[in-house]
Chain A
Amino acid sequence: MGSERREEVLIKGSRISGTGTRGSSSCRQTQDEVGEEQPLRKQPQGRYRQHRYASLYLMTLDLCVYSDDSWEEAARVPGITLTFHYCYWNPKSQHLKSLLAGTGAAVRESHTKHLQPDALTPSRRDVLVLTPWLAPIVWEGTFDIDLLNAQFKLQNATVGLTVFAVKNYMSFLELFLRSAEKYFMAGHRVNYYIFTDQPELVPRLPLHSGRRVIVLRTQSHERWQDISMQRMGAISQGARQRFLQEVDYLVCADVDIEFRDHVGVEILSSLFGTIHPDFTAVSRYSFSNERRPESQAYIPEDEGDFYYIGAFFGGSVPEVYRLTEACHQAIMIDKANHLEAIWQEESHLNKYLLYHKPTKLLSPEYMCDNDLLKDMQHQKKLGLSNIVRRIRIFALLKNKEVKSGNASQKVQSTDGQ
């Protein structure tokens, strides 16, 4: 979904770069290409066209002028024209694109066809879509992905996806990457950060354009709980060292998941967490929070908004850095006191998100498991509609300790429908 979305703003760059004729050596050729340009969904406004043709005309002028001169100057021409073409037609050139689109870039192209929102009709009647601190809860039906994609494109941002594949969890990596290629932020720029202790085993999958894989070495531990908890420290360190310069948003995911449906820019925000599917309709007294006051992750029973799952959270790089650093510090303090929170870093995550309210929440569509699936099938049989209308991310392992020794068998995509 959305993988065919090109830069719909008025540069033809994507088409030219697609055919590999970027930086054509003669401006005359480019003129021809422009001549046969197909109108985009909406005709470019008069002034956009002016800019483009003006600059092409200028280049022709250059050519005519220079060809009169001595060979020294004529030799400069291809260089200049090449540079101009490269700079001008470079689809990554957001600056130019925005200039062409006018100051305060518009989202015009995807506008015409989307339905008018009705102020007196809720988008969802069966679920809460807005927290008391006015953070949206992302459910199917609440958002228009075309609008959000168009807005996001104007930012020219990159999303980082971190995943830890340590020891026998390597076997999940291929399915993770393959499904992410299909469903995760399709059409946008993505950096996969794969933390692993076996870099040579990282599968080499073909990636769409604008996406790349960065393999980072990390240490492994004896106990899976330690492996799980050290992720916080590793992400905060990675954020400090490189993520801040390379990406705008970070999404931190478990590796034993599969993307099964669209997961896109609707999730992005300063700080987001995902509602644990088993605790959607559960009272805060029954949340599996850490209840020992000695632990840093302690949450009293009369506090708590939602129970967030540790397998999928994220936000802008500085916010994720703050979160992971805080959790890491808390884990270290607990360790020094010979404590381990009941659900390891998930408990610390919940503590953090209780007192640092996330700016967006993701519904359980973004982390389903077998139990939820069975519930949904049961509901279907009873003829009741489901609150979870799409299964976007599926957790393949229910509880890690069950499978800690045994994940060496090939993991196949289970079709639970």
Chain B
Amino acid sequence: MDGRGEREWRGPRSWAVVPFAESDRLNSCSSRRLRGGLARTVLPRFEHQQSRVLGTLLVPRKAERRTLWTHRLGTTLGKTSPSAGTRPKPVLSTGNRCPLQPLLLGLLFVLVFFGYGFLSSRRPMPGGVGVRPSVAVGDPDGRPVVALSRMLYPQPKALTPSRSDVLVLTPWLAPIVWEGTFSPEILDEQFRLQNVTVGLTVFAVKKYVAFLQLFLETAEQHFMVGHRVTYYVFTDRPADVPRVPLREGRRLAVLAVRSHARWQDVSMHRMETISRFSEQRFRHEVDYLVCVDVDMKFRDHVGVEILSPLFGTLHPGFYRADRQAFTYERRPQSQAYIPPDEGDFYYLGGFFGGSVAEVQRLTSACHQAMVLDKANGIEAVWHDESHLNKYLLYHKPTKVLSPEYLWDQQLLGWPSVMKKLRFVAVPKNHKEMRSP
């Protein structure tokens, strides 16, 4: 195992047969083994005439299926056949009937038959081609286990729960992060040894730039202290971004985005922007992405205990509620629809994150869902939050953050179950802020 191999290892590999059309994900796939391998030889590109035969044998991607369908329909009915004759020619036939053709085709058949069988028993590869589920089972952190040095701390007691008043483990064995469940020292050490860089994205559009000063100042005090951080501030007013002194190892990048007339659109376009920038930029610069609302301030430690391939945060207004009371989107016409008998938690749109790859998948899926909704003339009841909840219901997060990680003290007070309020809402005048 050379160093490179170790660095690329993200946990148990998952299935990815390379389809015969190239996918973006291949480029980000850390292992390039299948490229140029048997799959590509046997499954040539879809456009090629010969390959259309194989295209019918193996299910093409959704977009291309329509082409296949219409083309074959056309060919059969003799409408668009390239070598149009008096009767419809099957796609199979080429111009000249050479005697070797049956032999070649037989050989192709054998290759495909056995090649596919061979491939399906092949070990799955990392960085799957979009068909991979979110994360491996029971893999709280897809990174290699690092070697710690000697540390002194109290012994964990197997017969004493860390918290007796709350749930600290989801039914799919993802930790729910409450105060008292984790040791910051051990976790800090683990993440420092991996030299992780955390990206924090925040959108300060129009009047919301006013929140940046307090947000950034408190983040400097409480967010990932001791680790490398890059703040990504998306704004339409770059000149209004305050200059906050940053500690060592931390930097700020101001990224220009367009604003929208409606605040709902501003909120929803965050998904598209994050997804686009993840692909272009974040995956080269940071290991983890944390995506938060800007009208907040940090009050207490928010550290590496939150980092995981995919995490969501419990909405402070719904952690006590029944699933029927969750404000999921309830209209079946919407992509964000969740039936009343489904749902684990109600997650916040204002604090989610994970590894760059997973965040990209999430934001991309939400964005596409929102586009579909728009095309159907519907807008989910809580906009991007509804779509986020839909995604996290079917792609279970590998960590869940307790409401300590996003709280509104004005509205909800300070119940005894909250040992710390880490990231709290800044009082604001909604009407004023959301006006143009």
Contacts and interface: CB of A to CB of B under 8 A. Distances in A.
Interface stretch (A135-143, A194-202, A213-221, A329-337): A135-143
| B interface, over-half SS | loop
Contacts of B175: 130, 134, 136
B12 A248 contact: yes
Nearest to B124: A156
Contacts of A111: 342, 393-394
B331 interface: no
Contacts of A245: 123
Interface stretch (A62-70, A161-169, A251-259, A394-402): A62-70
B17 A129 contact: no
A116 B322 contact: yes
A237 interface: no
A82 interface: yes
Contacts of B53: 80
Contacts of A267: 138
B58 A87 contact: yes
Contact of B136 (A107, A155, A321): A155
A320 B136 CA distance: 16
Contacts of A99: 59, 61-62, 131
Given A87-B58, A136-B169, A138-B173, A356 B146 contact: yes
Given A246-B123, A268-B138, A83 B112 contact: yes
Contacts of A84: 56-57
Nearest to B365: A104
A94 B161 contact: no
Interface string A67-108: 011001101100110111011101011111011100111111
Contact of B181 (A130, A147, A151): A130
Contact of A122 (B56, B133, B165): B165
B327 interface: no
Interface in A139-196: 142-144, 147-148, 151-152, 154-157
Given A87-B116, A134-B140, A156-B15, A355 B148 contact: yes
Interface stretch (A31-39, A278-286, A372-380): A278-286
A266 B174 CA distance: 11
B145 A271 contact: yes
Contact of B161 (A125, A134, A155, A268): A125
A212 to B, nearest CB: 11
A20 interface: no
B394 A92 contact: no
A51 B171 contact: no
A5 B151 CA distance: 45
Given A94-B124, A152-B137, A80 B57 contact: yes
Interface of A: 51, 54-55, 58-59, 61-62, 65-66, 68-69, 72-73, 75-76, 79-80, 82-84, 86-88, 90, 92-96, 98-100, 103-108, 111-112, 114, 116-138, 142-144, 147-148, 151-152, 154-157, 245-246, 248-249, 265-271, 275, 280-281, 283-284, 300, 302-306, 316-319, 321-322, 355-360, 363, 387
19 contacts: A69-B90, A80-B109, A87-B116, A88-B59, A94-B124, A96-B58, A96-B59, A99-B131, A107-B394, A116-B323, A119-B319, A120-B417, A128-B156, A130-B182, A157-B13, A268-B12, A275-B158, A281-B158, A359-B145
